[in-house]
Chain A
Amino acid sequence: MRTVSFKRPAKRAGLYGVAAFFSFFAAAPILWMIITAFKGDWDLYRSRGSPFLFNKYPTVGNEPSPVVDSPTLENLRLLFFETNFTTFLWNSLAVGVLVVVITLIISIPAAYSLARLTGRWGERSGITIFLVYLIPPTLLFIPLFRIVVYLGLNDTLWSMVVVYPTLTIPFCTWLLSGFFKSIPKDLEEAAMVDGYSRLMAFLKVVMPLSLPGVIAVVVFTFSLTLHEFIYALTFVSSSAHRTVSVGVPTELIRGDVFFWQSLVAAAAIVAIPVAIVYSFLLDRLVAGFTMGAVKG
């Protein structure tokens, strides 16, 4: 009896210990970013002392500190009031949302037709489309730049809105067609017999069941527009039209001076809300709720 009552808490403690270790392991960079964002230069560059703690400048008596001491809001002030950071945020959001919408509008019907309607050529076309995605942007940005200039879109947000879907649509079409293929054809046909058109059957039956795939597409596309660098750097030159991924480094790395605290603050401000939204979507991503739908 005694061993049993001893064993269980020990097992639990071990389990939580491992979970806590890996949680810290995963969260440590973010924690480091947050703490760094509030650090003064003296504290940041001091080679001794923990990066996870604030260290004060050693002053004697009531003597005022000769440096900006930690914690400080100075870095955030610099970020928000001496750079176009809020503009970058809005630009990124606008480009992200538009590219997600365009990608969904094109990928969903494309993937559905690849999955259902083209017979044996569907599979091959799907793979071909996916291969297009594998061409690296570093090869494409010069020809694409000519197209962007030709369209008169250089130095506007629209250049990115038009070009990013060329990266996202192939991958998302391929991804979604896998999801659509996994949904039994019987379900759509049942809906069509039940009184719906193919389009309505698709919207009422296939789409709800493909939600994990659609969410994956939204996450992938939005993340790509947030971190994409080469196109954003090439097509846009004025600060007012830059997105976070290009705007922040160009404004906070001046020559060889890195404004580390403001840089990590910018990164954290973008990354943390996105991470929180994604974590809510994660449940839906992994929910295998089509299981047991067909066959006894």
Chain B
Amino acid sequence: MAVVETRDIKKYFGEVRAVDGVDLSTHDGEFLVLLGPSGCGKTTLLRIIAGLEQPTAGEVLLGGEVVNGLPPRARKIAMVFQSYALYPHMSVFDNIAFPLKAHGVSKEARKTKVGWATSILGIEKLLERKPRELSGGEKQRVALARALVREPSVFLLDEPLSNLDAQLRASARDELQQLQRRTGITTIYVTHDQVEAMGMGDRIAVMYQGKIRQLGTPQEVYDEPADTFVATFLGSPPMNLIEREDRLVGFRPERFLPTEAIELHADLVSFSFAVTRVEYLGADRLVYGAVGDVSGDTKAVSRLPSTVTVPIQPGDSYDFAVQTADLKFFDKVTGLRTGPRPF
């Protein structure tokens, strides 16, 4: 039985279709990431699951039961907000004990539970402080402790790392994932950051314009994108797309290499690559240019690992190639993935 399930959820704000028919079902104990650009409806979907928004149509199921009419407090969920939403007038202890108070937990039991949650997150020493005396990382942990302390059936996290600086974010990502693994609580995590999504998610639901464009493991959505949106949203730099007759052909920049750097010479598709710019990034080089082989000039990028030492100068043309197996084909009109075809 799915812990969280949505059936054809729609949410319209006037003319705007924020969520436009989402079917989603979580596996027990999994870490599911909702990934998409800002305004794609991912936060709205999360708020609908939490009960903070009512859907225009469709059903939300928690533990197999339809909870559409239920207020947030009756849903056994915990949510961490992007702003953390710590209560500024309460100490850290009171913040974490606040949900327990609501459920009539005794004073003794509250102390034990807060102690348990804070020890997991390593914030035992902050109990007396007020939220304004905490750093960003500490606030985030307090917010997580407050969510954890009720032992909810679902964790809903709304971009909880976006307010942290880059360095802290990497370690927080690691901690968050470990916490989820240890507690085994089904988690839905909203982010616009593909690195977070790829690194943390068991599965990723890529959303765009209120719809889920693809749902799959990080590997699936990266290697087998369902459409051109997913293909170009994931990956940095994104997938190259070139027009070919009635379809679009896509290949990842890291698969687009100088012919002499590819060991296996069978089944290659070659391009003449007119290089315009080279970015040296240390671990790899990004080579920008145009592929002249197909209909006109189409911009393309190649990502060369530092192990590829072929000298490349802007202004020259080189022979680049992609293995046939690495080519993805998309319908030119719908953008949807089609089966492999001879190039």
- Given contacts A190-B81, A195-B103, A296 and B89 within 8 Å (CB-CB): no
Asked if residues A196 and B102 are in contact (CB atoms below 8 Å), the reply is: yes
Complex CA–CA separation, A193 to B147 (angstroms): 9
Complex CA–CA separation, A74 to B321 (angstroms): 110
Contact of A193 among B72, B83, B163 (CB under 8 A): B72
Q: Which residues of A sit under 8 angstroms from B103, Cβ to Cβ?
A: 195
Q: Which residues of B sit under 8 angstroms from A283, Cβ to Cβ?
A: none
Interface residues of A in 252-296 (CB under 8 A from B): 289-296
Contact of A195 among B85, B99, B140, B163 (CB under 8 A): B99
Give the contact stretch, choosing among A38-46, A59-67, A94-102, A181-189.
A181-189
Interface residues of B in 80-96 (CB under 8 A from A): 81-89
Q: How far is the CB of A205 from chain B (nearest CB, A)?
A: 6
Asked if residues A189 and B52 are in contact (CB atoms below 8 Å), the reply is: yes
Q: Which residues of A sit under 8 angstroms from B133, Cβ to Cβ?
A: 292
- Given contacts A208-B89, A292-B88, A192 and B71 within 8 Å (CB-CB): yes
Complex CA–CA separation, A195 to B76 (angstroms): 9
Complex CA–CA separation, A189 to B139 (angstroms): 17
Interface residues of B in 128-143 (CB under 8 A from A): 131-133, 135-137, 139-140
Contact of B88 among A189, A196, A209 (CB under 8 A): A209
Asked if residues A194 and B73 are in contact (CB atoms below 8 Å), the reply is: yes
Asked if residues A296 and B163 are in contact (CB atoms below 8 Å), the reply is: yes
Q: Which residues of A sit under 8 angstroms from B78, Cβ to Cβ?
A: 193-194
Q: Which residues of B sit under 8 angstroms from A294, Cβ to Cβ?
A: 83-86, 88
Asked if residues A292 and B72 are in contact (CB atoms below 8 Å), the reply is: no
Q: Which of A198, A208, A209, A293 is most buried by chain B, counting CB atoms within 10 A of its CB?
A: A293
Asked if residues B87 and A187 are in contact (CB atoms below 8 Å), the reply is: yes
Q: How far is the CB of B170 from chain A (nearest CB, A)?
A: 15
Total residue contacts A-B, CB cutoff 8 A: 87
Complex CA–CA separation, A222 to B78 (angstroms): 43
Asked if residues A291 and B140 are in contact (CB atoms below 8 Å), the reply is: no
Q: Which residues of A sit under 8 angstroms from B137, Cβ to Cβ?
A: 296
Q: How far is the CB of A230 from chain B (nearest CB, A)?
A: 40
Q: Which residues of B sit under 8 angstroms from A125, Cβ to Cβ?
A: none
B40 adjacent to chain A (CB < 8 Å): no
Interface residues of B in 33-69 (CB under 8 A from A): 50-52
Complex CA–CA separation, A294 to B162 (angstroms): 13
Q: Which residue of A lies closest to B138 (CB)?
A: A296
Complex CA–CA separation, A192 to B78 (angstroms): 10
Q: Which residues of A sit under 8 angstroms from B73, Cβ to Cβ?
A: 192-197
Interface residues of A in 161-220 (CB under 8 A from B): 184, 186-187, 189-198, 200, 204-205, 208-209
Q: Which residues of B sit under 8 angstroms from A189, Cβ to Cβ?
A: 52, 72, 79, 81, 85
Q: Which residues of B sit under 8 angstroms from A208, Cβ to Cβ?
A: 89
Complex CA–CA separation, A184 to B83 (angstroms): 9
Q: How far is the CB of B238 from chain A (nearest CB, A)?
A: 30
Query: Shortest 8 CB-CB distances between A and B: which pairs?
Result: A296-B136, A195-B102, A293-B88, A292-B132, A190-B85, A194-B99, A186-B85, A294-B83
Give the B-binding residues of A (Cβ under 8 A): 184, 186-187, 189-198, 200, 204-205, 208-209, 289-296
Give the A-binding residues of B (Cβ under 8 A): 50-52, 71-73, 77-79, 81-89, 98-99, 102-103, 131-133, 135-137, 139-140, 146, 150, 163-164
Known: A193-B51, A292-B88. 12 other contacts (CB 8 A): A189-B52, A190-B85, A190-B87, A192-B71, A194-B98, A195-B150, A205-B87, A289-B88, A289-B89, A294-B83, A294-B85, A296-B84
